[in-house]
């Protein structure tokens, strides 16, 4: 085991607060393709819909729903990776640890400490009205209203029902952003897992952690533009890294 792996293992086994930050690379081993590599063309077939188009165009709303249902189908039967499980084990062991994720697939879910997982981009499992407070589970709502001309709210009869993922052009949840900023600032160790760190404002948290003197570790298959920020960089598949530190 080389020095980087030994240091990483020591950090994970220590008591200092860790904030994990994950992207699509965390879920690749579960069967959901990375958005940027997209080897099987899944994301090409399910091109994300811009929020403005969702609001203004019924065909775009239909496409948005189809995309989210396709993701449901894609991950049906998928199980969390070893790294997913490791993160949750460490959160449950020390509730000062947090997980900020860009992922919408729910594989990061922590049933014991759900508030320690911060979903920056929402998730595919719930939907809600953009006008009133109506909410439902995505699949239940779709089964009940899929034959309607448009996905209008059954409560206020006016608002549009959207799956609770954050679309391009849509504002992120300000409360989640605020908490993510706080836990990045308080972290003694900030560990990036499977993220290219290309998306803003998500990639601002590594800067917050660095400014507050956290140790920065980047675990990602490909190189990122934040290597100079890091104390440790390991470019490899996360499952291979897990085997070195388990």
Q: Is 121 a catalytic residue?
A: yes
Q: Which two tokens stand for residue 136?
A: 């439902």
Strands (E), the chain: 18-22, 98-101, 117-119, 122-129, 135-137, 161-165, 189-193, 215-219, 232-234
Q: Are strands 135-137 and 161-165 parallel, antiparallel or unpaired?
A: unpaired
From CA 150, how far away is CA 241, in angstroms rounded? 46
Tell me which of 50, 121, 181, 225 is the catalytic residue.
Answer: 121
Q: How far apart, in whole angstroms, are the C-alpha atoms of residue 230 and residue 71?
A: 33
Catalytic residues: 121
């Amino acid at each position: 085991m080389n020095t980087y792996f030994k240091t990483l293992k020591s950090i994970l086994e220590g008591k200092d607060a860790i904030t994990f930050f994950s992207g699509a690379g965390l879920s690749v081993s579960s069967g959901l393709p990375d958005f940027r590599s997209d080897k099987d063309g899944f994301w090409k077939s399910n091109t994300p819909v811009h929020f403005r188009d969702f609001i203004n165009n019924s065909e775009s709303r239909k496409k948005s729903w189809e995309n989210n249902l396709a993701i449901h189908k894609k991950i049906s039967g998928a199980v969390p990776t070893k790294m997913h499980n490791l993160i949750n084990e460490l959160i449950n062991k020390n509730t000062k640890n947090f997980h900020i994720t860009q992922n919408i697939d729910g594989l990061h879910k922590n049933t014991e400490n759900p508030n320690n997982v911060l979903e920056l981009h929402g998730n595919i499992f719930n939907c809600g009205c953009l006008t009133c407070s109506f909410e439902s589970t995505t699949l239940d709502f779709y089964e009940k209203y899929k034959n309607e001309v448009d996905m209008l709210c059954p409560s206020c009869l006016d608002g549009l029902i959207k799956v609770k993922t954050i679309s391009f052009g849509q504002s992120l949840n300000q409360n989640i952003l605020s908490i993510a900023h706080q836990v990045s600032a308080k972290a003694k160790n900030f560990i990036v897992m499977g993220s290219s760190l290309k998306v803003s404002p998500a990639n601002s948290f590594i800067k917050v952690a660095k400014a507050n003197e956290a140790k920065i570790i980047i675990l990602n298959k490909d190189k990122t533009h934040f290597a100079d920020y890091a104390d440790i960089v390991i470019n490899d598949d996360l499952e291979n890294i897990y085997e070195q530190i388990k």
